[in-house]
Structure 1
Amino acid sequence: MSPVILSAAGAALVLDDPDPQWGLPRVRHFGAALGPVSGAALLPALASPAPPLLPAQGDSWYGRPGLSGGRDGDQWPVRWSLDRLDADTVSGSGGTVTITASDARAGLGLVCELVMDGGGLVRMRHAVTNTAASPYRVDGLVCALPVPGRAAELLDFTGRWALEKVPQRAEFRHGVWSRENRRGRTGHDGTGLLVAGTEGFGFRGGEVWAVHAGWSGDHVHYAERLPEGVSLLAAGELLEPGEVVLGEGESYRTPWVYFTWSGAGLDDAGARLHGHLRARPLPVRPVTLNNWEATYFDHGLDRLLELADRAAAAGIERFVLDDGWFRHRRHDRAGLGDWYVDEGVWPDGLHPLADRVRKLGMQFGLWFEPEMVNPDSDLAREHPDWILGRAERMPPPQRHQQVLDLARPEAYAYLLERLDALVGEYALDYIKWDHNRDIAEPVHAGVAGVHAQTLATYRLLDELRGRHPRLEIESCSSGGARVDFGILARTDRVWTSDSNDALDRQAIQRWTGLLVPPERLGCHVGAPHDHVTGRSLPLAFRAATALFGHMGVEWDLTSASQAELEELATWIALHKRLRPLLHAGRVVRADHPDRSALLHGVVLPERAVYAYVQLTSRTDLVPGPLRLPGLDPDAVYEVRVAGPAPERAALPAWAVPADGAPVRLPGSVLGELGLPAPALRPASALLVELEKV
C-alpha cells in the first residue's frame, strides 16, 4: 500500500498505510515538504522507527499511551485494527484524512481526523466509542505527532497573574516533559504552545515543531523521547478519574489539537497559527476604552459621561462599561450572579450612558462574569445548589466568589436569559466576558466537573452569538488566563494581561503573539502611574506598545492634561492609519543581539512598520544596527520615522534627512546590513515605517 501525504505551504505530513489487520497508520514524517514525490517512492525512506497515530503498547510503543482507560474488573489492552482510511488530499493545498479503527475484544471503536489547511497547519482530534455493554472509563486521550532527533531543545511558557507567557527553555532529553493544568481554565501558567526545535532556534532561524491544545479547561501538553529513537509532541484534555465514563454506544471526542512546523524559526510557525484564526474574518477593530482603571466601582453618571466625551474627542471608537453596573456590586465581595442593572445607581438603567456614547459616535459594550457567583448575592441565596461543588461543603473561595455550575440546566437557562435580555435591551456591540478565578473542587452530579463546565460555557457562548450574530465578545480571565483556540473559536479577542505596564507588556505581547495575531490581542494604553506595578512610564512608550495589537485605553482621561489628550489623539490617529497593515500583515521579530532592546514589526507586500524598543540601559555605547526582517530583498523601500520620536533620542541621519526626502534602500540591504540604530533612553520606542517604491 502507498503512504498518504498531506502537503501545503512548504510543510508535509506522511502516514503509512498499514495492513488493515494490524494497527493504526504510523506518522512517518511531519516537517518540511518532500517535493513532487509519490507515496510509493517514499517507501525505502520510511524504515526509521515511528509512533502509531494513537500510541499504544499493542503497537510496541512503551511510552505514554495515547488512550488510557478501562473497565472495572475486565482489563483488556487495546490493539486496534484498521477498518477504513479515507484521504482527500491535493498536493500543495493540504487535505483531510479520516481513519476508522476498532478492537472488538476491547469493545472500542476509534475515529481519527487529521486536517492540514492551506497554510500547512495540522489539526487533529480523536473520538473513542464504547461498543460493549459494560461502561468504559476514559482516563485520557491525546493527539501526538513525532519530531526528529535533531529537535534538541524545548521551549514552553509559564506565568502568573499580570505576568503571563514567561518563556523557559530546556534540553530535550529522554523521558517526559509534561505541562499539566488543573485550574479549570487555560491558566496564567498554561503554556499555550510547547515547542521543540533544533539547537539555538530563534524567531528567524532554526527548525521548530509546536503543539497547542485548543481547549479552555484542564489540559496537558508534553514532549517525550524514548531510547528507541522516537520523540513526539502531544496534547489534549486532562481528565480526572471518572469524569468521562461511556455507556454502550457513547463516545468521547477530544478537542482539536494543533501542530505547526517551521524551517525558518518561530515567526514562520506562528504565522501558520495566525492563518488559522484569520480564516474567520473580523470587522475593523475599534479603538476601545475600558473604564475599569479609570473609575473602578465608582459609577457616577456625570463622571462616566465626561469620560465618554474625552474618549470620543481623542478618537476612541468603543466605550466599555466594566464591573460595577449590576445589583449590589459596590465592591468585589457581592453581586456576582445578579445580572440586573442596579436601580439604585442607575435609576434610568444604562440608557443615559449608552445613548450618549452612541451620540458621540462610539459603540457600547458591557462587562460580565457569567460563570461566577458571589455567595453574597440574591442568586446564591436563592439557589445555593447551583454552585459547582459538593453540596456538603463550599469549595475554597477565591476573590470572594464561587463558580456557577453551567452544566446544570437551570443555571444555564438563567444566564442565557439574562445575557440575551441585556444584549437586546441595550443593543450591545460588545461583551467583555471575564473569568476571574481558578476552579477548585469542581464536582457536577457527583463526578469531576471541568469537562462538563467547559462544554457548557462553549454552548452558552455559541447560543448567545447565534441570537446576536453581530455581537463581539472578548475573552478575559483575570487577564490572559483563558487564551486558547477553543475559546477563540467563539470570541473575537483576548485580554492579554491585567497588567498595562508597557515594559511588562512588551514581553507578554511578544510571546502571546506567537499563538494569537495582533488584531485579537487586547493592548491598552494604561495610566501614567501603572496600577499593577506602580511604575511610571511616558505616554509615547505606553502608546507605542499598545499600537501593535487591538489598541485601547484604560486610563482616567478626566485626569489627563490637554497636552496628554492631544498626544494620545495623535497616537490613536496613527494606529488607525496603520490598522490595515497591523491587523493583516505578517508578524516578524528580529533575533536582536542586544538583550536590552527588542525589534519587531508587521509586514505586508507593499508596506511594513517596525518598533525598535529600548527596554533597559544598553551595555554598548553604540547600539547595533536594525536589521529589518521579513522584507522583499528585491524591492526598494522608502524609510521614515512613524509617529512622534521619543524624547531625548539621538536619531541617525536616515531618521532626520537634511533635505526632508526619505531614504530609499533595497530590502536586501535593510535585512542584511540594516539601519543605524537610534540611541534611546530606557522605556522608549521608535517606530519605523517602510513603503515599497
Structure 2
Amino acid sequence: MVGQNRHIKPTPNASKHMISKIISLQGRGTSLILETEGNALPIWRYFGAKLSADPDFASWQDTTPRASFSLDKNQPFRTIPLFGNGWFNTPAFTAHRHGRDWAHEISECRVQTSNKEISIVSLDKVAQIEFIQTIRLEPEFDVYAFQTTVKNLGSETLNVDRLMAGSIPVQSHFNRVNSFTGRHNNEFIPVSDGITRSGWQRINRRGLTSHDCPPYARVMSPTTGGFSGPVMAAHLAWSGNHEQLIEWCDYGFYIWQSGAWYAPGEIRLATGEQIKSPEWLVSFSENGENGVAQNLINHMRSLSPLWTSGQMSPRPVHLNTWEGLYFDHNEQDLMELASSAADLGVERFIVDDGWFAGRHDDTSSLGDWWADADKYPDGLAPLANHVKSLGMEFGLWVEPEMVNPKSRLFEKHPQWALQLPQRTPLESRNQLVLDMTNRDVQNYLFEKIESLLTNLPIDYLKWDHNRDLTQAGSDGFAVYTDQINASYALFQTIRDAYPNVEIEACAGGGGRIDAGILRLTHRVWASDCIDAVSRKRIQDGFLEYLPPEIMGTHIGASPAHSTGRSQNMDFRAAMAIIGHFGIELDPRKIPEPEKEKIKSWVNLYKNIRNITHTGQVWRGNVGDHVAWQVLGNKDKFYAFIFRMQPTEQRFPPYVSLPMVDLRTQYFVERVDPQKGQFDGFTGKEFLSLDSQGKKFSGDVLCQVGIRLPFMKAERCIVLKFSAISE
C-alpha cells in the first residue's frame, strides 16, 4: 500500500493510563513505524525494508528487561532524544537559559498523521519549549524528509546549542558508512569507514556546504553491492555548517543524526521566536547503491526549479569564457569568441569573471557590479546583443556575497563586511564576505543585479562564492545560520522578479552543492577541475545523489589547467556530455580537426540529451580498469564505457548490464563520433555493433554482456540500446 498510513489498535497489554498505538508510513519499498505512548514522544520501532501488510505489532512493545546498574525505567529511543532525563546517547537537542532549563522532558504530545506525513507537536512545560517535528514521505521515491522546529515559549532568551533535523535507527547489520572528502579542484573523493561502537562523525564549520565535508552519506551491510543488498542514504538540504553522527545504542542498533551545526551563542531565541532545522532527506533501498541513487535522483528532480512545470527544457550547450580568457577581456575578442562558439553549435555564451569595473585580477572590484569602461566602452549591451544575434543565450558571472577591500563598495561601506570587533579581518582570495543579514546589503545587491537583468538581455547568471566563512559575525554575534538564510532570500527575490533567468550555483567549483541551494538554482558547477580523468571520479560521486542534467560538465583544454595532464579531445568530450555539457576553452586557438570533433560531440549531445537528462542513472565496473555508466529509460538508453588505464589482461572483458529487462530484445549500435576507429584487434561481434548494429536478448546482456574491443587508456565508447517491440 504505497503511501498508506496504518492505524493499529492499541496493544492488548497497554495500561488504561498509558494507551499505546502503532503509526506508520509505507513507501514503495520501505516501512517507517513508530509507537505512540500517552503524552510522551513517539518511540522508534522500525525503519527499513517494507514489512508485510499486517505484521504482529503487538509483540513489538518494549519488553526490554531492566539491566543491572540502570534506571528503574528504561528510556526508549524516541523521535527527539532529549538530554537530562535518562537518555545517555547524543541528544538531538540541547539548550539552556543562562545555565538553567538545560534538562528537557516532554509533558504533552499530539500526533497527527496522513498518508504521507507524521506531525508531532510536543511541549516541555517546565522549560517552556515547543517542539514540532515532521516526517514527510514521498512514497514513489522512498524518500523521507525529517525536520524539527523549536519555539521558545518562556519569558527569557533560550540559547539553542544543538538541533538535529532527525534521528533515525540503523540496524546493526550495517557495518560501514561511505561519505566524501575533497578540496578545491578535487571534490567527491570517496571515504569508506567501518561503523563500530566507537561511532562515526563528520562536522563542517566552513560556513558553506564545503569541498571537504559535503552533507552526504550512505550506510551499507556486508552484502551491499551496486545492484543488490540493503543501503540507506541521506542528504542534508543545507548550504552552511552541518553535522552527521552515527553512534551505537545499547538497545542493539545504531542511531544516525544530521542537522545544522551552530557556533557558540549563535541561536538565541527571544520569547515567541523559533528555529527550524534544514530538511534531512533519507532513503532506503534493497537494490544496492544504484537503487538508492535512483530514489534520490528522482526525488531531487521533483524539487528542482528545472522541473517545476513537470518537464525540463533541453539543457543548452554552454561556452564559458573563464579558462579561455581569464581576466583578459576585450570587447572585440569576446565578440570573435562568441562567433566561434556559435559555429561549434553552442547555445548559451557565458561571460565569466573580469567584466566589471576595475577587475583585472582577483585583488579588486568585487562589489562594483557595473561594466568596466575600458574593456567595454559602451557597456555590455553590444556584446550581449551580438551573442543574441547569433542565436545564443547570454550569461554573466557574478559573486554577489563577496567584496574586495580594494573596491568602491568597501571604501564606502567597510561595515558591510562580516567581521568581529577588534579582530583583524581574514581575507581569502583577497576578498571578504558581505553581511547578508544587513538589509542595506540586500537592497544594494538586488539593485545592482536588477539593473543588469533589466538593461541587458541576460538569460543566465553564474553565481559564485569563492571562500569559506570565518569571522561570520554581526554586532559581535555569530550569524553563520542567518547568513545562509539571508543568501537564500536574495536568490528567491531575484527568482521571483526574473523567473525566466536561470542561475548556476558555483563555489570554487563544488563547494556549494546541496539540496538547499538546488531548490533555488538550476545548475551547479561540479568542479573547477575539468581534467577528464579527475572528472570521472568527481562525476561518479555527484551522480550518487543528484541528477546529471544539473551537473555542469565542460570540455577543457589539454593540458588541463588544473592538473597539467593531457587527454585527447574525444575522451574529454565523452566525459562532458554525461552531464550538462559545455566548452571551457578558446576555440579560436585549436586546430580545425579538433573543432570538427567538438562539433560532432555537440551534435551527439543534442541528439541524446532528451534521454540522458530525463531517465535513470546506473553505474558499474567490470574490472581491468573498465567502468560503465548508463543513462536513460527501460526502452532507450545510452551506455558510456570508459577504459581509464591500460589493460592488464590478454583479452578485453565483457560488459554486462544488470539493469536490463531479461525478457526484452535490444538493438545495440555504436553512436559516438569515433565510430569505425579502433585501437587494436577487434572481435567480429563488436565490428557488427560499429557498422550496422546488432540484436541482443536482455538475458544475454545481463548474464554475459558485450565483449569489448581492445582500447587504449583514456578512451570511451558510447552505445545506444533500443528495446525492440514484439
Partner of 1:339: 369
Further displaced range: 169-178 or 573-582: 169-178
Verify: 1:686 aligned to 2:712, yes or no. Answer: no
Partner of 1:92: none
Paired residue type of 1:387 = A
- CA distance in 2 between counterparts of 1:656 and 1:8 reads 46
* 8 Å contact kept, 1:210–1:233: no
- CA distance in 2 between counterparts of 1:373 and 1:647 reads 52
Change (3 A) 1:643 1:102: same
Alignment counterpart, residue 109 of structure 1, candidates 119, 130, 142: 130
Q: What aligned pairs does 1:259-274 form with structure 2 within 5 A after superposition?
A: 259-274=282-297
* 8 Å contact kept, 1:52–1:59: no
- CA distance in 1 between counterparts of 2:102 and 2:464 reads 44
Partner of 1:230: 253
Partner of 2:13: none
Further displaced range: 488-497 or 72-81: 72-81
Alignment counterpart, residue 13 of structure 1, candidates 32, 36, 43: 32
- CA distance in 1 between counterparts of 2:693 and 2:98 reads 75
- CA distance in 2 between counterparts of 1:144 and 1:449 reads 25
Partner of 1:138: 160
Q: What aligned pairs does 1:343-492 form with structure 2 within 5 A after superposition?
A: 343-492=373-522
Change (3 A) 1:341 1:60: same
Change (3 A) 1:296 1:556: same
Deviation of 1:35 after TM superposition, in Å, equals: 3.3
Secondary structure of the equivalent of 1:175? coil
* 8 Å contact kept, 1:30–1:145: yes
Deviation of 1:8 after TM superposition, in Å, equals: 2.0
Deviation of 1:48 after TM superposition, in Å, equals: 8.1
Deviation track 1:252-273 (CA, whole Å, cap 9, x = no partner) reads: 1101111111111111111111
Verify: 1:100 aligned to 2:121, yes or no. Answer: yes
Secondary structure of the equivalent of 1:309? helix
Change (3 A) 1:481 1:647: farther
Deviation of 1:28 after TM superposition, in Å, equals: 1.6
Partner of 1:567: 597
Partner of 2:112: 86
Change (3 A) 1:350 1:48: farther
Q: Gaps spanning 5+ residues in structure 2: where?
A: 1-9, 11-20, 65-75
Secondary structure of the equivalent of 1:232? strand
* 8 Å contact kept, 2:670–2:693: no
- CA distance in 2 between counterparts of 1:592 and 1:423 reads 49
* 8 Å contact kept, 1:214–1:257: yes
Deviation track 1:87-136 (CA, whole Å, cap 9, x = no partner) reads: 111xxxxx011110001001111000111103110001000111111111
Alignment counterpart, residue 50 of structure 2, candidates 33, 56, 59: 33
Deviation track 1:317-371 (CA, whole Å, cap 9, x = no partner) reads: 1000000110110111000010111112111111111111111111000000111
Verify: 1:123 aligned to 2:145, yes or no. Answer: yes
* 8 Å contact kept, 2:41–2:106: yes
* 8 Å contact kept, 1:192–1:515: no
* 8 Å contact kept, 1:216–1:484: yes
TM-score of the pair, normalised by structure 1: 0.96
* 8 Å contact kept, 2:177–2:218: yes
- CA distance in 2 between counterparts of 1:108 and 1:167 reads 40
Report percent identity of matched pairs. Answer: 33
Change (3 A) 1:195 1:330: same
Query: Number of residue pairs matched?
Result: 683
Further displaced range: 226-235 or 476-485: 226-235
Alignment counterpart, residue 43 of structure 1, candidates 42, 58, 64: 58
Deviation track 1:655-676 (CA, whole Å, cap 9, x = no partner) reads: 3219944211122211121111
* 8 Å contact kept, 1:155–1:194: yes
Verify: 1:619 aligned to 2:648, yes or no. Answer: yes
Further displaced range: 76-85 or 214-223: 76-85
Partner of 2:190: 167
Further displaced range: 507-516 or 637-646: 637-646
Deviation of 1:578 after TM superposition, in Å, equals: 0.6
Further displaced range: 8-17 or 345-354: 8-17
Alignment counterpart, residue 253 of structure 1, candidates 273, 276, 283: 276
Secondary structure of the equivalent of 1:515? coil
Deviation of 1:84 after TM superposition, in Å, equals: 1.1
Q: What aligned pairs does 1:54-69 form with structure 2 within 5 A after superposition?
A: 54-57=80-83, 60-69=86-95
Paired residue type of 2:295 = R
Deviation of 1:375 after TM superposition, in Å, equals: 0.5
* 8 Å contact kept, 2:235–2:282: yes
Deviation track 1:112-171 (CA, whole Å, cap 9, x = no partner) reads: 011110311000100011111111111111112111001011111100111101111121
Paired residue type of 1:124 = F
Verify: 1:667 aligned to 2:698, yes or no. Answer: yes
Deviation of 1:58 after TM superposition, in Å, equals: 5.8
Deviation of 1:495 after TM superposition, in Å, equals: 0.2
Deviation of 1:651 after TM superposition, in Å, equals: 3.6
Alignment counterpart, residue 24 of structure 1, candidates 41, 48, 69: 41
Secondary structure of the equivalent of 1:26? strand
* 8 Å contact kept, 2:41–2:80: yes
Paired residue type of 1:185 = L
Deviation of 1:649 after TM superposition, in Å, equals: 4.9
- CA distance in 1 between counterparts of 2:641 and 2:591 reads 28
Deviation of 1:3 after TM superposition, in Å, equals: 1.6
* 8 Å contact kept, 2:366–2:404: yes
Deviation of 1:412 after TM superposition, in Å, equals: 1.1
- CA distance in 2 between counterparts of 1:210 and 1:586 reads 17
Deviation of 1:491 after TM superposition, in Å, equals: 0.4
Secondary structure of the equivalent of 1:516? coil
Paired residue type of 2:651 = V
- CA distance in 2 between counterparts of 1:660 and 1:161 reads 43
- CA distance in 2 between counterparts of 1:477 and 1:605 reads 36
Deviation of 1:476 after TM superposition, in Å, equals: 0.3
Alignment counterpart, residue 312 of structure 1, candidates 314, 331, 342: 342
- CA distance in 1 between counterparts of 2:671 and 2:484 reads 44
Paired residue type of 2:361 = H
Change (3 A) 1:590 1:48: farther
* 8 Å contact kept, 1:212–1:258: yes
- CA distance in 2 between counterparts of 1:592 and 1:48 reads 48
* 8 Å contact kept, 1:204–1:589: no
* 8 Å contact kept, 2:613–2:632: no
Across the aligned residues of Structure 1 and Structure 2, the Cα RMSD in angstroms comes to 1.6
- CA distance in 2 between counterparts of 1:141 and 1:103 reads 15
Deviation of 1:285 after TM superposition, in Å, equals: 0.8
* 8 Å contact kept, 1:223–1:234: yes
- CA distance in 2 between counterparts of 1:367 and 1:607 reads 36
Secondary structure of the equivalent of 1:113? strand
* 8 Å contact kept, 1:213–1:221: no
* 8 Å contact kept, 1:640–1:654: no
* 8 Å contact kept, 2:117–2:134: yes
Deviation of 1:621 after TM superposition, in Å, equals: 2.3
- CA distance in 2 between counterparts of 1:654 and 1:395 reads 65
Deviation track 1:599-624 (CA, whole Å, cap 9, x = no partner) reads: 11113021111111111122222232
Partner of 1:217: 240
Deviation of 1:57 after TM superposition, in Å, equals: 4.1
* 8 Å contact kept, 2:417–2:433: yes
